C-alpha cells in the first residue's frame, strides 16, 4: 500500500484537510497493533503532507537499537536495514528520543543515514512527554517548513494511538502482528473456557493455566492461609491423579478428581481429562481439562433418589389400587368406572355379572348384556354431555343375564376431576332397588291391611258401644224384670197365703171342735189336711226367703250378741220338737268364743235350720252343739248328730235347692229340701263357710264358721 501511494505523494501536498485528518483518526482507531498504526501514519503523511519519504523508528530493547518499524516511499529492504545503536548517545537521532520534540536535519552527514540521501528531513518525537520515554521518532523528508504543524498533529495522533493500543510497554517486535493477535485470541479463548485448563510438565509443574485453573492451583502472596493450604492440597491431588495417568492407567483417561474450592472451602468434583502432548520446543507435557461435575454428581444422586422414590410411589400406588380393587369387589353394589370417552375402564364383580357375558352363555344372555350396556351408556352419556353437572342420579331397568330377573337399580354417577378440573373418570354405583320396591309394596299392603283392620276395629268398637248400650238397656230391663219378679213373687205368696190361711184356719177350728165333735176318721183326715197345709206354708215361706235373699231384700243388720244366749234361744224355740223326738240335746260352748258382731237373726235362722235337720234325721242318740274360736276373730259352731248320715257322694248335693238325699215321692222325712240351701245363702251373706262331715249310719257334723266381726 505504501508503494501504491508513492506517485501521488507530492501532488497532494497541501491536502491535510479536516476530512483527511478525520479519516486518519478513524483508521488509527481501527488499528490493533502499534506497527500497523505507524504504517498508517507513514502512508497518510506521504499522501497529505507533500513528503516523499516517511519512516517511523522505535527503540528495540532486545536488539538494543532504534529500528525502522514502518515507512512510506522507502524500499522495504532499506527500512529493514535501518538501525541505530541505542547506546550511541552521540548520534543526533538517539538524542532526539529524549530531547526536544522536532529537529530538522539538512544534511545526511550529520546523521549518517542513507535512507534519505542528501535530502533534508525532519525528526518528530512520538509520545514521551516529560520523563516518559518516547515511543519512537517520525522522520519526514523532505523537510518543508519547520516545524510543520500538520506533521506535528500527526505525530501527536500517533502517540495517542500507540498509548491506546499498547500502553506504556509498546513492543514492535519482529513477530507478525497476526501471530500476536492469534496468541492473544487463543489465550482469551482458554480463559473464556468455563473449565479449568492446565498445561503441565510430566512432573505436574504448572506451565500454563487459564484463570479458572489459576484460581484452583495458584495462590498469590497476599491470600489467606486457608486458601493457600487449599491450593497446596489441590496441587497434591492433581499431581497424584496425573501420575496415575502417566503410569499408563489411561493415556487420555477420564478420572474423577476431588478438589477443594479455595474461596468457599467446599468440595468440588471434577472429571480429569488429560492428554500428553509433545512439543519440540517445550518438550513433553500434559494438557489437562477439568470438568466440574459436582452439580452433575449431585444431580445424578438426586435422580437416583428420585428414581427410588418413584419406584416406592409406584409400588404404593399399585398396592393402593389393589386395595381399592379389593374394596370395590367387596362392595355388593355394582360399581363401574368409565373414562372420558364413556368407555368402561373398571368394574367390580357385581357389575361384571350385569355387564359381561359368561363364556358359553346363550344368545339371550348376550342380548341382555348388550341391552344393559346400552341403558348404562345412555345414562352416563347424559352426564358427559353436561358440563356443569357433577353427579347424576337416575333409575335404570337392568336385567340379570344369568337369571333373566328384572333388576331395577338406582344409579348414582359422579365425575372424577383432576386438580385442574379436567374430567378423568366417571364412577357409577348401582343400587339394587328390588328389595326396596318389594318393601314398599309390602308396606303398602301392610298399610292397606292396617287401614282395613282399623276400619274393622272402628266398626267393632261401634258395635261394642251399641252392645254396651244394649246391655245397659238389658240390665235396666233385667233390673226391672227382677223387680217385677220379686213383686210377682210377693204377690203370689200373698195370693197363696190367703187361701192357705183359710184352709189352716178352718182345719184348726174344726179340729178344735168349733163345729162340733168329730169322729175318729174325720179327725184323722182333717189332721192330714192340716199337716199338708202346714208343709205347703213352710214351702211358701222358704221360697219367699230365697226370693228375698236373691232380690237383695234381706239386708244385713249387725248387732253385738253372745253365742250361748242365742243357742239357748234356739233350743227353747225348738223345745216342742226336741221333746217329741226324745233326743238329748247338749251344748258345749267354749269360753274362748268372743262376743259376736254380725247379723243375729240370720245366725239364728241357720242354727234353727241345722238343729231341725239334726232332730229330723236322728232316730236315736244325741245332738251336740259345739262352739269354739279357731282363730282370734272367728267362731266355729258345729251341730253334731248320731243320725243316719249322708253318703259321701251326696254331701254336696244337699246344699242345692229342693234337695234331700231321698228324692222318692214317698220319702220318709218331711221338709222342703230348701233349708240347707237357704243356710248356704245366708252363710255366704255373713262371709262364712258351711261344711259337712258325715259317715253313713254314724251321723253328721255341720260346721258353720263365721268372722266374729262382720263388716258391711
203: left (phi over 0), alpha (psi -120 to 50) or beta: alpha
> Of 62 and 514, which has the nearer Cβ to another protein?
514
**Residue from the set 310, 508, 560, 696 that interacts with another protein by CB under 8 A:** 508
CB 605: neighbour CB atoms within 10 A? 18
Residues 6+ apart with CB under 8 A from 311: none
Place of cell 526536544: 100
Residue 497 binding another protein, by CB under 8 A: yes
| Minimal distance, residue 511 CB to another protein, in Å | 10
Q: Could you give the CA distance from residue 55 to residue 45 in angstroms, rounded to a whole number?
A: 10
Q: Could you give the CA distance from residue 234 to residue 217 in angstroms, rounded to a whole number?
A: 6
Residues 6+ apart with CB under 8 A from 67: 57, 58, 59, 60, 82, 83, 172
Residue 181 binding another protein, by CB under 8 A: no
**Residue from the set 294, 506, 612, 629 that interacts with another protein by CB under 8 A:** 506
> Of 246 and 504, which has the nearer Cβ to another protein?
504
Q: What angle do CA 555, 545, 647 make, to 5 degrees?
A: 115
Q: How many helices (H) and strands (E) does the chain have?
A: 18, 23
**Residue from the set 501, 527, 595, 684 that interacts with another protein by CB under 8 A:** 501
Grid coordinates belonging to 129: 512527554
CB 271 within 8 A of CB 224: no
697: left (phi over 0), alpha (psi -120 to 50) or beta: left
CB 122 within 8 A of CB 148: yes
**Residue from the set 15, 119, 239, 493 that interacts with another protein by CB under 8 A:** 493
Residue 513 binding another protein, by CB under 8 A: yes
| Minimal distance, residue 518 CB to another protein, in Å | 13
> Of 416 and 504, which has the nearer Cβ to another protein?
504
Q: Could you give the CA distance from residue 139 to residue 183 in angstroms, rounded to a whole number?
A: 32
**Residue from the set 359, 420, 514, 520 that interacts with another protein by CB under 8 A:** 514
> Of 497 and 628, which has the nearer Cβ to another protein?
497
| Minimal distance, residue 683 CB to another protein, in Å | 21
Name the nearest CA neighbour of 688 among 696, 679, 677.
679
Residue 509 binding another protein, by CB under 8 A: yes
**Residue from the set 415, 548, 600, 602 that interacts with another protein by CB under 8 A:** 548
> Of 276 and 496, which has the nearer Cβ to another protein?
496
> Of 61 and 516, which has the nearer Cβ to another protein?
516
Through-space distance between the first and last CA atoms of the chain, rounded to whole angstroms: 169
Residue 561 binding another protein, by CB under 8 A: no
**Site stretch for another protein (CB under 8 A), options 70-78, 329-337, 512-520, 619-627:** 512-520
**Residue from the set 418, 512, 519, 664 that interacts with another protein by CB under 8 A:** 512
**Site stretch for another protein (CB under 8 A), options 141-149, 363-371, 434-442, 496-504:** 496-504
Q: Could you give the CA distance from residue 624 to residue 611 in angstroms, rounded to a whole number?
A: 9
**Site stretch for another protein (CB under 8 A), options 36-44, 427-435, 498-506, 569-577:** 498-506
**Site stretch for another protein (CB under 8 A), options 322-330, 395-403, 497-505, 683-691:** 497-505
**Site stretch for another protein (CB under 8 A), options 111-119, 184-192, 233-241, 508-516:** 508-516
Q: Name the burial class of residue 176, with classes exposed (0-12), middle (13-18) and buried (19+) by CB atoms within 10 angstroms of its CB.
A: exposed
CB 251 within 8 A of CB 242: no
Q: Could you give the CA distance from residue 323 to residue 672 in angstroms, rounded to a whole number?
A: 102
> Of 237 and 506, which has the nearer Cβ to another protein?
506
Q: What is the DSSP string of 44-79?
A: HHHHHS--SEEEEEEEETTTTEEEEEEEESS-HHHH
**Residue from the set 20, 193, 215, 504 that interacts with another protein by CB under 8 A:** 504
> Of 4 and 514, which has the nearer Cβ to another protein?
514
Q: Could you give the CA distance from residue 689 to residue 89 in angstroms, rounded to a whole number?
A: 183
> Of 185 and 577, which has the nearer Cβ to another protein?
577
Grid coordinates belonging to 234: 489441590
Distances from the Cα of 596 to the Cαs of 4, 371, 572, 632, in angstroms? 184, 101, 20, 12
Residue 544 binding another protein, by CB under 8 A: yes
Sheet of 254-260: strands edge to edge?
Answer: 206-209, 197-201, 283-292, 267-279, 254-260
Residue 502 binding another protein, by CB under 8 A: yes
Sheet of 391-399: strands edge to edge?
Answer: 344-347, 335-338, 423-432, 406-417, 391-399
Place of cell 506521504: 46
Residue 490 binding another protein, by CB under 8 A: yes
Residue 1 binding another protein, by CB under 8 A: no
**Residue from the set 500, 518, 529, 549 that interacts with another protein by CB under 8 A:** 500
| Minimal distance, residue 619 CB to another protein, in Å | 30
* Cis-peptide into 147, omega within 30 deg: yes
> Of 276 and 500, which has the nearer Cβ to another protein?
500
> Of 497 and 597, which has the nearer Cβ to another protein?
497
> Of 48 and 548, which has the nearer Cβ to another protein?
548
CB 140 within 8 A of CB 154: no
> Of 66 and 544, which has the nearer Cβ to another protein?
544
Number of residues that bind another protein (CB under 8 A): 23
| Minimal distance, residue 638 CB to another protein, in Å | 31
| Minimal distance, residue 547 CB to another protein, in Å | 10
Residue 194 binding another protein, by CB under 8 A: no
Q: Could you give the CA distance from residue 561 to residue 596 in angstroms, rounded to a whole number?
A: 5
**Site stretch for another protein (CB under 8 A), options 304-312, 420-428, 493-501, 615-623:** 493-501
Q: Could you give the CA distance from residue 527 to residue 388 in angstroms, rounded to a whole number?
A: 126
> Of 91 and 602, which has the nearer Cβ to another protein?
602
Residue 556 binding another protein, by CB under 8 A: no
**Site stretch for another protein (CB under 8 A), options 242-250, 338-346, 501-509, 699-707:** 501-509
**Residue from the set 553, 568, 648, 695 that interacts with another protein by CB under 8 A:** 553
Residue 529 binding another protein, by CB under 8 A: no
**Residue from the set 95, 494, 524, 528 that interacts with another protein by CB under 8 A:** 494
Residue 237 binding another protein, by CB under 8 A: no
CB 237 within 8 A of CB 258: yes
Distances from the Cα of 579 to the Cαs of 538, 574, 575, 615, 616, in angstroms? 21, 9, 6, 10, 12
Residue 537 binding another protein, by CB under 8 A: yes
Binding positions for another protein, rule: CB under 8 A: 490, 493-495, 497-502, 504-506, 508-509, 512-514, 537, 541, 544, 548, 553
Amino acid at each position: 500500500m505504501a508503494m501504491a501511494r508513492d506517485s501521488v505523494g507530492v501532488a497532494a501536498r497541501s491536502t491535510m484537510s479536516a476530512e483527511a485528518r478525520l479519516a486518519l483518526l478513524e483508521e488509527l482507531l481501527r488499528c490493533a497493533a502499534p506497527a500497523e498504526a505507524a504504517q498508517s501514519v507513514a502512508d497518510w503523511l506521504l499522501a497529505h503532507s507533500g513528503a516523499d519519504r516517511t519512516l517511523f523508528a522505535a527503540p528495540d530493547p532486545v536488539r538494543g537499537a532504534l529500528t525502522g518499524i514502518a515507512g512510506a516511499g522507502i524500499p522495504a529492504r532499506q527500512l529493514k536495514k535501518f538501525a541505530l545503536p541505542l547506546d550511541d548517545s552521540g548520534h543526533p537521532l538517539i538524542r532526539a528520543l529524549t530531547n526536544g520534540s522536532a529537529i530538522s536535519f539538512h544534511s545526511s552527514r550529520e546523521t549518517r543515514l542513507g535512507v534519505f540521501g542528501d535530502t533534508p528531513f525532519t525528526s518528530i518525537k512520538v509520545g514521551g512527554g516529560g520523563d516518559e520515554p518516547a515511543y519512537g521518532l517520525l522522520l519526514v523528508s523532505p523537510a518543508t517548513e519547520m516545524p510543520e504543524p500538520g506533521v506535528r498533529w500527526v505525530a501527536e495522533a500517533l502517540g495517542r494511538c500507540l498509548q491506546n493500543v499498547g500502553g506504556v510497554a509498546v513492543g514492535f517486535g519482529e513477530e507478525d502482528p497476526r501471530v500476536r493477535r492469534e496468541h492473544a485470541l487463543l489465550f482469551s479463548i482458554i480463559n473464556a473456557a468455563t473449565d479449568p485448563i492446565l498445561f503441565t510438565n510430566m512432573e505436574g509443574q504448572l506451565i500454563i493455566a487459564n484463570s479458572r485453573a489459576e484460581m484452583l492451583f495458584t495462590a498469590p502472596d497476599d491470600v489467606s492461609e486457608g486458601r493457600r493450604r487449599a491450593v497446596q492440597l489441590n496441587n497434591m491431588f492433581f499431581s497424584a491423579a496425573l501420575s496415575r495417568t502417566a503410569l499408563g492407567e489411561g493415556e487420555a483417561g477420564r478420572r474423577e478428581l476431588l478438589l477443594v474450592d479455595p474461596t468457599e472451602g467446599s468440595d468440588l468434583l471434577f472429571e480429569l481429562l488429560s492428554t500428553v502432548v509433545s512439543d519440540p520446543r517445550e518438550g513433553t507435557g500434559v494438557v489437562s481439562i477439568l470438568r466440574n461435575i459436582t452439580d452433575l454428581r449431585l444431580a445424578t444422586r438426586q435422580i437416583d433418589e428420585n428414581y427410588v422414590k418413584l419406584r416406592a410411589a409406584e409400588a404404593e400406588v399399585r398396592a393402593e389400587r389393589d386395595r381399592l380393587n379389593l374394596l370395590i369387589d367387596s362392595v355388593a353394589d355394582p360399581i363401574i368406572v368409565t373414562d372420558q370417552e364413556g368407555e368402561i375402564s373398571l368394574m367390580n364383580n357385581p357389575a361384571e355379572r350385569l355387564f359381561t357375558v359368561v363364556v358359553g352363555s346363550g344368545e339371550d344372555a348376550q342380548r341382555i348384556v348388550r341391552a344393559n350396556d346400552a341403558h348404562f351408556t345412555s345414562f352416563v352419556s347424559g352426564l358427559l354431555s353436561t358440563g356443569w353437572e357433577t353427579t347424576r342420579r337416575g333409575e335404570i331397568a337392568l336385567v340379570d343375564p344369568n337369571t333373566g330377573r328384572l333388576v331395577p337399580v338406582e344409579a348414582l354417577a359422579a365425575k372424577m376431576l383432576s386438580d385442574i378440573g379436567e374430567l378423568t373418570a366417571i364412577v357409577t354405583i348401582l343400587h339394587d332397588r328390588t328389595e326396596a320396591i318389594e318393601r314398599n309394596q309390602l308396606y303398602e299392603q301392610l298399610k292397606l291391611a292396617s287401614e282395613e283392620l282399623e276400619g274393622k276395629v272402628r266398626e267393632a268398637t261401634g258395635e261394642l258401644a251399641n252392645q254396651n248400650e244394649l246391655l245397659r238397656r238389658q240390665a235396666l230391663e233385667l233390673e226391672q224384670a227382677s223387680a217385677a219378679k220379686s213383686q210377682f213373687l210377693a204377690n203370689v205368696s200373698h195370693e197363696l197365703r190367703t187361701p192357705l190361711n183359710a184352709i189352716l184356719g178352718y182345719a184348726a177350728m174344726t179340729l178344735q171342735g168349733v163345729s162340733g165333735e168329730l169322729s175318729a176318721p174325720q179327725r184323722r183326715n182333717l189332721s192330714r189336711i192340716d199337716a199338708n197345709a202346714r208343709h205347703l206354708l213352710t214351702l211358701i215361706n222358704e221360697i219367699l226367703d230365697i226370693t228375698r235373699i236373691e232380690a237383695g231384700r234381706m239386708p244385713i243388720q249387725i248387732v253385738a250378741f253372745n253365742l250361748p244366749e242365742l243357742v239357748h234361744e234356739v233350743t227353747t224355740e225348738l223345745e216342742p220338737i226336741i221333746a217329741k223326738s226324745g233326743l238329748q240335746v247338749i251344748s258345749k260352748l267354749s269360753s274362748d268364743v268372743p262376743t259376736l258382731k254380725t247379723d243375729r237373726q240370720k245366725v239364728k235362722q241357720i242354727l234353727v235350720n241345722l238343729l231341725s235337720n239334726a232332730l229330723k234325721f236322728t232316730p236315736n242318740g244325741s245332738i251336740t252343739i259345739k262352739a269354739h274360736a279357731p282363730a282370734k276373730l272367728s267362731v266355729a259352731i258345729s251341730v253334731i248328730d248320731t243320725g243316719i248320715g249322708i253318703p259321701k257322694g251326696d254331701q254336696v248335693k244337699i246344699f242345692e235347692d229342693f234337695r234331700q238325699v231321698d228324692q222318692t215321692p214317698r220319702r220318709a222325712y218331711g221338709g222342703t229340701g230348701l233349708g240347707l240351701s237357704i243356710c248356704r245363702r245366708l252363710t255366704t251373706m255373713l262371709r262364712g263357710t258351711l261344711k259337712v262331715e258325715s259317715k253313713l249310719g254314724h251321723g253328721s257334723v255341720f260346721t258353720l264358721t263365721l268372722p266374729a266381726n262382720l263388716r258391711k
